[in-house]
Structure formats: structure tokens, C-alpha cells
Chain A
């Protein structure tokens, strides 16, 4: 896996593929079950919050142009802090990828492979990801660029295809369950923008590091629009919570689509595109996690780290046996990790690094 610099479009696709997949497979359901008719307002709110966060990141990284969070951590607290931050993010990435892998494998098992042990389905994804990760990073990102419009148009097509089944009155009562859930506790749904975690490692990988703000803003806005359309699809079809269905809500929405009697089973097409999107997500996730591992352990070649890392994802995904555990991991563990590692740790590191820089003064010191 090489380490070529990324074009802006590749960086945007990187962020969006991570977020889009999360929205398709889990976060849209969590947001809808939380806010119900207030989902769209909640989506707008968390998009605004996500925009504010990436603007804050851009501001805090201004003095560390072209540096990612690991380099900034190294500047702030030396190798120990770099190691700690790196491991913390790898844990987050591993948990996200494992939950994601388990979700899509379970869905495929239920719908198409009822007689096949889930181990083999998970293993197929792992092997596919492993093979992709042997290619250069630019190939992985170019695949993401290819998948980005497909996933986006897919969700738009679902919206159009389902429009005759929609009940637009489902947006009432406009504030959803209650004001507290939509406006306060609902802000925790910010974790739908899980791509923010990956964004912090992108500055050093960009060809033009000055365009970080532009890249992050476009990515968040695109993801916000995607989230809005995905939630609209679900909300206009379902008046109430989806409950604890093991199948993801957009798949359930696709099952309604019928274009006359000729095109009736579009769910198979949807699921096959989701599988490609999922492999793209896993490859990007693995690429970044292995890159962090390479940096914190100062390894020259990161390729040997790919399969051990994937083996960990494989083990964690299979260790989740019950659906309730998966729900807990999605709803609680994933959220907590996002807010502590992605938001709290990163802001603490960036703010303190800026303070240190201001106190020490000058821009000629090591690490700047």
C-alpha cells in the first residue's frame, strides 16, 4: 500500500464513503428511532453542528498546515501522546468497522444465505478488503470516487421510486418525540458524521494541504444532504419507529419500489451496490488504521499489518453474537467512543497544541 498524496475529490470521496455507509447501515435508523417525525430537523441540526466542528478543526489546524492529528499530538506530548491518540483512534476505527461488517453480513445471511454460516460471509469481506489493501492507496481512493456518485444517486433514486408511497404528513408533529430529544439529546446523533474522525488524518495526505477547509466543508455538506434524503425516505414511509429490525431501513424502503410489473425486485440491485460500497468503506478504514499503526510503530512497510488488522476486525465482528449486543455497540459504545476519542481528545490535543504554540511563540520550532 503506497502513500501517494490525494486530490481534493479523492479526499471528499474518502470522507463521504465512510459517512454514507454509516448512514445506510445504521445511523439513519438510530436517528429515526430517536426523533421520529423530528428526524429531518435533527438531521439539519447535526449537519450545522458538523459544519461548525470542521470549521473549528480547520481553524485549529491553521497553524499546523499539512499536519495530521498524530503529528500535532507528537508536537504536544511527544511519542507517548502520539501513541495514545493513535491507539485510541485505531480502537474507534476497529469498533466501527466491526459493527459495520457484522451488520452487512447479518443482512446478507438473512436475505440471501440462510444456510451459510456467517463466518464465511464475514470472511469474504475480509479477504476482499485484504486484496484491495495490497493496491496503492490512490486505487482505494479512486474506487471511493467511483462509488460516491453511485451511492448518492442510489438514495435519490430510492426517494423518487418511493415517492408514490410517501405520506409527507409524517413530518408532523414537527418537533418529533419531544423538544429535549430533538434538540438536546438528539445532538448526540452527530456521530452520523463519523467521517470527521478520518478527516483529522487527511491534511498530511492532501496534495494541496491548503484546501483542507474546502474539502471538509464540501464533504460535510454532501453527507448532510445524503442524510437528509435517507431520513426523508424512511420518515415518509414509516409513521413510527422501525424498532429493532436486523435489516437496515433503506433496504426495507427499497422493497416497496415497483415500476409497474416489470421492475419489481430492485432490492437485489441495491444490496449488491451496498456490498461494493461496504468493501470500499472497509478498505478505506483499513488503509487509514494501518497507516496510523505504521506511524506510531515507525514501520517502513504497512502491507504486513493489513491482515493482522483485518483479523482483529474479523474477530470483533464475530464476537458480537446477539442482535441486542450489536444494538448496544451501535447505540452506546460507538457514540461514546465518537464523543470521547473523536471530539474530546482531538479538540483537547488541537487546542492545547495551539496554546503551546502561542506560549512558545514563533513558527520555527520543531513540529510546526
Chain B
């Protein structure tokens, strides 16, 4: 009898728990969920609502036999006052429950970012489905356009692309892997500014094809223009004309990849309709300006994010000739902040090593003097660029985005003392002392020209 009673109690308990947990199981079951991989937030003219674009994972596109049609992103747009409201509306529309646990990137349009985005960022931070490693991106065009342009036949699995693209910061320095958690921490920290990845659309070859069918003449002219611009960009492929190249030279006479992307114009053309070069600067939760590719490279160097990058210098011996140099950091950037004076003095010491990538027939890289001359050019070039970047953050943006405040805190015993110092205000008048120890060690040439 006692044994039977035990069994009855046991079975009743099982049924009670099955009943209690089945609702959570149903709602969290993979069959009942639709996975969002990207969220875009745009403003709507004459409305307090925002337009939220949700990009969903198209499972069929993962298949090897998937047709080009399958790789098209599935995007749903909702007009709502907040992200929580948008998800609610979308839940009723798609039938399945929207799940954000595979979301890779949150995109705000520049327009929305300029008005302040703390409310949506805080909502996302408090969503347990969202990972803290989700990237935050500000798009110079509308976020929905950016999402639409992100698809490419080169990478059918879009989640993989969103996963990988920020890591290019490690070998280009033209962007930064800005995560939601870091972004949230920075916009809520009064001592520091925040940065977000800057994205824009490029002239897509898909669009090109489409427009060429409409008008072949207009298409060909725009295409050649893009090619010229592309020639001045990163890899130093001199596809563009001499005239175009001269235009993009910096004041110091160096060909910088930054300049072509500083005006919000893309220098790329390809299958994917978007690019991510530069950073968007925030003070509190408002977008206050952008960093060009070169400024972003300086930022990446100072926060030790970039492992290896490339610059193009004037030859010290022949005007108009260029030398490509691949640069690695020998050790992490040393930064110290002296707060004993009226204004903080920030000392930066970079320890770099470089290798020349292209050979010039009149240069003998085995000659120490030649290497020293190139080296001096490199030092001067980087010092100028870093100083320009630092002056822009302190004098123009008036916000410490590099995180010098962490070094400044070393000089104080308590947080109260540091608060009384008023770092944000002092940073505006900060003086910078940039020291670069670089060493061009050799050429990486298989054969000199």
C-alpha cells in the first residue's frame, strides 16, 4: 500500500512538472522560433516611431544546392516606438516567436544615432537572448538599405559574414570590433566616449547590372569612376589615373587610404553592396562625428587592436614614387598620463617594425642608410597622423574615445579623487607626446624590380 502511494505521488509529480515546463519548452523550441541575424533601426519622417528592420536567417541558403534566389535576405520591417514594441508586433505577424539569440549586428542609421540611442541599446542589453558580443554599427545610409546590401554570393551564410567582418580590424585597422557590451559601457560612462563601426553602401555590381539593363551609357561612366577611386584605396593598386591619385594625397604628401573614405563616399565596388570602414564617435549616446580609415587605424594602434597594417609612403629619394610598407607592432602601445600639471600630458610610445613590400630599382634595401631614411619618413608620417587623430578627439570631439582615462586613474588613489579631477573637461586641453620607435628591418621581396 505504502509503495503504491509512493508511485502515485511520483507519477502525479511528473505530470505536474511536465505541465509546468511544457509551455517554456514549446515557446523555446526550435520549431517555434524565427532567428533574427541583424536588426536595423531607421527614423521615419514626421513620426515619433522608428522603422525596425529584422533580417532573418534563411536556412535554405545554407544548402550547397541553394539557388541565388535563396541567398536573398528575408527582411521584415515594422514601425514601432521601441524595439520591444517592434518585436511584439513582429511576433504577431510572423506567427513564430522572434528570437534574438543568433543576432550578430545591430545597425542604426546615422540620423537615429544623432538623436540618441540609449533607450534601444539599454533594451537590447537587458534582453537575455542578445549576446554581449553583438556588433554595433552606424550606417551612413538607412539601416534597411545597409541590411539589403549586405548579401553577397561570395558568402552565402550571412551570419558568418556578420561574424567575421569585424575581425578585419586585426589586419587592416580600418574598423574596430565594437561589441554591444563595450558600447553600452562606454555610452554610460561619463569619462569616456564611445565608438561604433561605421558602415555605408558601395556601388554594387548587382545594382550595376540592373542599371546597365536600364541605361547602358550611364552605367559605364559611373563604373569607370568607381574604378578610379578604387585604385587609390588600401592595397595600393594603381588602377586609377595619376590625377586621381594626386587628389587623394595627404598634406604631408603621403597617399593615405583614409582620405577617399572620409567624405562618406565609398571607394569600393563589388558583389556586396556594403563596406565597413571608419568609426562613428559618440558623446553620451549621440553620434557627434566620424573617423576616417586612417584615423581609425590610429585608434586601432593606440588600443592595440591591429596586429598588422599597411601604409604607403613617399620615397625619400624620388618625388612621386611610393613605397608600400607592412607594419607589425613589436610590443603593446605604452601610454602614460601625467596629471601633475594643469593639463594632462599624455605620453604615447609605439614600438613598430616594418617590411617594404615593393621594390624600386634605385633603392638598395641592403643599405642601412636607405632603410634609415625610409624609417624616418615612416616615423614622421605616423606621428603626424596620430597627432591629428588625437587633436581631433580632444579639440573637435572633446571626448576621450581611446580610453586614456584608464591610464589617468593610475594617478589617483580613490574614485572620488578621480571624479573631482574632472577628466572629461581636462581631456579637451590635454597635451600629447607621441614617440614612435620603428625599425624597417628588411624588404619582403622575392625579387626586386
Decide if the interface of chain A is mainly helix, strand, loop or mixed. Answer: loop
From the candidates B16, B132, B189, B407, name the one contacting A240 in the complex (CB within 8 A): B189
User: Smallest distance from the beta carbon of B91 to chain A beta carbons, Å?
Assistant: 13
B133: CB under 8 A from chain A?
yes
From the candidates A116, A256, A261, name the one contacting B21 in the complex (CB within 8 A): A116
B84: CB under 8 A from chain A?
no
Which residues of chain B from 137 to 186 have any CB-CB distance to chain A below 8 Å in the complex?
A: 160, 163, 181, 185
B396: CB under 8 A from chain A?
no
Beyond A120-B17, A247-B128, is A173–B417 a contact (Cβ under 8 Å)?
Answer: yes
A127: CB under 8 A from chain B?
yes
A112–B24 contact, CB under 8 A? yes
Q: Binary interface profile of A, 223-265, with partner B (CB < 8 Å = 1, else 0)?
A: 0000000000000001110000001000010011010010010
A117–B133 alpha-carbon span in the complex (Å): 30
Which residues of chain B from 11 to 44 have any CB-CB distance to chain A below 8 Å in the complex?
A: 13, 16-17, 20-21, 23-24, 26-28
B24–A173 contact, CB under 8 A? no
A37: CB under 8 A from chain B?
yes
User: Smallest distance from the beta carbon of A186 to chain B beta carbons, Å?
Assistant: 12
A173–B21 alpha-carbon span in the complex (Å): 47
User: Smallest distance from the beta carbon of B432 to chain A beta carbons, Å?
Assistant: 19
Q: Binary interface profile of A, 20-56, with partner B (CB < 8 Å = 1, else 0)?
A: 0000000000000000111000000000000000000
A255–B134 alpha-carbon span in the complex (Å): 11
Q: What number of residue pairs across chains A and B have CB atoms under 8 A from each other?
A: 78
A68: CB under 8 A from chain B?
no
A115–B27 contact, CB under 8 A? yes
Residues of B within 8 A of A247 (CB): 128
A256–B131 alpha-carbon span in the complex (Å): 8
Q: Binary interface profile of B, 67-103, with partner A (CB < 8 Å = 1, else 0)?
A: 0000000000000000000000000000000000000
A258–B27 alpha-carbon span in the complex (Å): 26
Residues of B within 8 A of A115 (CB): 23-24, 26-27
Number of residues of chain B lying within 8 A (CB) of chain A: 31
B406: CB under 8 A from chain A?
yes
A117–B24 alpha-carbon span in the complex (Å): 10
B410: CB under 8 A from chain A?
yes
B213: CB under 8 A from chain A?
no
A173–B28 contact, CB under 8 A? no
B413: CB under 8 A from chain A?
yes
A172–B131 contact, CB under 8 A? no
User: Smallest distance from the beta carbon of B176 to chain A beta carbons, Å?
Assistant: 14
User: Smallest distance from the beta carbon of A240 to chain B beta carbons, Å?
Assistant: 7
B414–A238 contact, CB under 8 A? no
Beyond A173-B413, A173-B418, is A256–B163 a contact (Cβ under 8 Å)?
Answer: no
B414–A179 contact, CB under 8 A? yes
A176–B415 contact, CB under 8 A? yes
B416: CB under 8 A from chain A?
yes
A110–B415 contact, CB under 8 A? no
Closest residue of A by beta carbon distance from B27:
A115
B24–A116 contact, CB under 8 A? yes
Which residues of chain A from 84 to 121 have any CB-CB distance to chain B below 8 Å in the complex?
A: 110-117, 120
A110–B406 contact, CB under 8 A? no
A169–B13 alpha-carbon span in the complex (Å): 52
13 additional A-B residue pairs with CB within 8 Å, beyond A36-B415, A110-B128, A239-B189: A37-B415, A113-B24, A116-B21, A120-B17, A167-B406, A169-B410, A172-B409, A173-B415, A173-B417, A175-B413, A238-B185, A240-B188, A240-B189
Residues of B participating in the A interface, judged by any CB pair closer than 8 Å: 13, 16-17, 20-21, 23-24, 26-28, 128, 131-133, 160, 163, 181, 185, 188-189, 406-407, 409-410, 412-418
8 smallest CB-CB distances across A and B, nearest first, come from A120-B20, A115-B23, A113-B24, A169-B406, A172-B409, A115-B24, A173-B412, A116-B24
A-B contact pairs, 30 of them (CB 8 A): A37-B415, A111-B128, A114-B24, A115-B23, A115-B24, A116-B20, A120-B16, A120-B20, A169-B410, A170-B406, A172-B409, A173-B409, A173-B413, A175-B413, A175-B414, A176-B415, A178-B415, A179-B413, A179-B414, A238-B185, A239-B185, A239-B406, A240-B185, A240-B189, A252-B132, A255-B133, A256-B132, A256-B133, A258-B133, A261-B160
